[in-house]
Structure 1
């Protein structure tokens, strides 16, 4: 039997019903849910540019503009149901245009553009908006953390290493460490936004166009800072996606570590943090329980956010360096879920940090029974007694060992073991008396003498808080400037488009 060319015998019609339900309909629903405004802005900006460059006659453009306005008035995207009559949302708008002004005029809107550059510009518009919301919430969290760090800059806590009490510091000093990471995370988002803030319009399918388009003009009308230079990069370099979700991944990995500490610190055995009743749930059977479950929700939501962001990056792995569906509608829509959970974490964490407090009695108990000021005893012996640090360390270790074995506390029970250890090691009596010993091993003294750059003492903490507030002010100013630029661009687009309609 002779081979038959399948192209000659193919009687199937687009779309295949399974393909329609599994791919086309979800993509259509995603476009109408997330990108209607982006399509509208792109159509209008492109039309204005076509007229300004002389590619399109103003009279024809006026008919297209009027039809676009009619579609906006008459078609409610939320009510649309995908039928398969057209391939996607883009072709639906084109179909509506054709119905109002005819095929010849309607088809001129698509001069010098492609769904390739349209899609990537749509996704960038969507990501910019979501990044700005996230950054606004991150700045609110940063402000809450700075306020708490300043108000708690002298509030003692136990700092842990390897899960064990290590040294005393202040809650303000601890929070400052997390503040600096959040500042860097916000800066990473600003870097990602700069990549997102480059318009792909005018790249067309791959190589731009033979028409004398003005790519910078469209970029400006859409509120982008500039047009992305290389046209191949516009449709292939999805680093605007990977940069964004990498920034999310890192931010919520870092916040998750802070949240995990809060969970540990609220345990009954530690009790370092007190969570107010407004953020505590009770047990349905155990009347004694105070469950700070918002912290658990923060932990799993931060992990969900991290996981969703990681999934987007994983989808990009081993994809070809070209325009491809892997980076487009459904992947972008999946990524938006990372933003949704991110918003919840940032809002709840800001509320939690603003309301929690340190339990000073529990902190005092934990400091006393754990001998965590013993490091300063060793340091002080070097300065006061002229010992080597290793010898001083051995004396301090012997002192702590005796106190812990006796189940005592360092200020009240440590002096006699200290005298014994010192005389055994140094062969003489120390000049440090009981009063001086108790001062040296007090947590207040421990913090006060650590006045170096970055330390917990009042002077470096005051300088740090000032620096953090300056950073926050810089972030706020940049956000306001970007918002003003985009608002002005939107107003200009409205003005230019309205002029085409003759209104």
Structure 2
């Protein structure tokens, strides 16, 4: 049997780089291995420029404006040829960050007036341990992935859900608590609950801090002080990290502690879990007929049953959210621990960030497409309500309690009396109105209760949707 591993072009091992690549492609610019190397180049370039602009090394002049612009083009135009050249260098160095240093030295030597033996090349990667470059690169990558891709998609889904909730704010729905018919609500209010929950988590993600450190092999600035003892290295470190738009971490070992990553992944995972809840609820509403999947009927629902349109978008989303959370959880729990001053568990672990966010992004895409294919079916919802008049036992006994508290006689044991009337059997509108008529309630209360139906007993549900505008 021919090995598929030898096929050309290469066949993807994972679904994100194969079947679902179209949905997660925007993350490639942020969380792929080439993206990591591009950001490493960016950090190295900016550090060289920072050193010379601030005269950190005595006697070293600043780069010209043209040279700085040319250096900044290197990460911006990092592409296929650079990737191949970098791979060839790494094959010799057997060290990824050292390969970045050597590539940048090559590019620096190509600047007008510069050569391979230019003394300034020694300031490339000056004072750095690999983790000084890596931690800043990952922070820039993750920030870009979250702010420019994941958050944008999540926000768009939230706006879509908000619109659905508002459109369906007054459509009565038979609620189910513990799987049993319960106090009616509206479909819009129930979707608004999920939208509100998702918004809170999205706001937490939006407030994430992206930390960075730049303090040497064990976080002591030892080499820095040895080389340039009169420089204010803590201020230099802080200013450089903040120049990249990151928050400075002043106290670390060789690595930045990754606590901010754990916090971020916990928030994204919580968003995922709420979204998973939306998927299971909408799936249930579809199974009850409350939503019809009528748009895009050119799709195949079942390979053998022509009548079916499976809720595949929501099922696919559930699976991807679970994979995403498994990865986010292990990232969050593993990255916060490193043996003494450094071990390499984080190096391998962080290479899975793209997969973790990729499965979440794929789920967002599926939920959005699934919601877009739904039409509410108020007639089915109304039929379920009309078949469950016993849900009005709650407002009747509550009204009896209020009247009893006012001193009206004959209102004793309201809960027990409604329980005897309704539990374990169906009742009709006529049954309920006859019961109300025999209670001896004040006329206005009796009339109000007799006029109530399961479809009108929705409380403030339509108004509550307005909280989405807050």
Fold in common (TM above 0.5) = yes
1:391 and 2:391 matched: no
Pick aligned residue for 2:237 from 215, 219, 225:
215
Deviations 1:19-50 (A, max 9, x none): xxxxxxxxxxx974231321222122111211
Distance 1:390 1:354 in 2: 51
Residue aligning to 2:451: 439
The CA deviation at 1:337 is: 0.6
SS at match of 1:85: helix
Partner of 1:107 in structure 2?
A: 122
Q: What residue ranges of structure 2 are gaps of 5+ in the alignment?
A: 1-30, 110-115
Counterparts of 1:38-77 in structure 2, within 5 Å, are 38-56=39-57, 76-77=81-82
TM-score, structure 2 normalization: 0.77
Q: Distance in 2 between matches of 1:172 and 1:237?
A: 43
Which of 250, 256, 275 is residue 293 of structure 2 equivalent to? Answer: 275
Correspondence for 1:150 = 166
Out of 377, 383, 386, which is 1:368 matched to? 386
How far apart are 1:412 and its partner, in Å? 4.2
- Alpha carbons 1:31, 1:89 under 8 Å: kept: no
Answering whether residue 465 of structure 2 is matched by residue 465 of structure 1, we say: no
The 1:318–1:199 alpha-carbon spacing in structure 2 relative to 1, beyond 3 Å, is closer
Coordinate RMSD, CA, aligned: 3.3
The reply on whether 1:248 has 2:264 as its aligned counterpart is no
Tell me: CA distance 1:97–1:359, structure 2 relative to 1, closer, same or farther (3 Å): closer
SS at match of 2:184: strand
Distance 2:441 2:450 in 1: 17
Equivalence for 2:144: 129
Aligned to 1:229, what secondary structure does the other structure show?
coil
Residues 241 and 436 of structure 1: is their aligned pair in 2 closer, same or farther, counting only changes over 3 Å? closer
What is the rounded CA distance, in whole Å, between the counterparts of 1:88 and 1:376 in structure 2?
72
| Correspondence for 1:90 | 97
- Superposed CA offset, 1:33-77 (max 9, x none): 231321222122111211123134555856996995797679823
Q: Secondary structure at the match of 2:219?
A: coil
- Work out which of the residue numbers 258, 262, 266 in structure 1 matches 2:282: 262
- The number of residue pairs the alignment matches comes to 411
Q: 1:96 to 1:41 in 2, by over 3 A?
A: closer
The 2-side partners of 1:41 and 1:354 are apart by 40
Of 171-180 and 212-221, deviating more is 212-221
More helix by share: 1
What CA distance in whole angstroms lies between the structure 1 residues aligned with 2:265 and 2:410?
Answer: 51
Of 182, 190, 201, the match for 1:185: 201
Per the normalisation by structure 1, the TM-score is 0.72
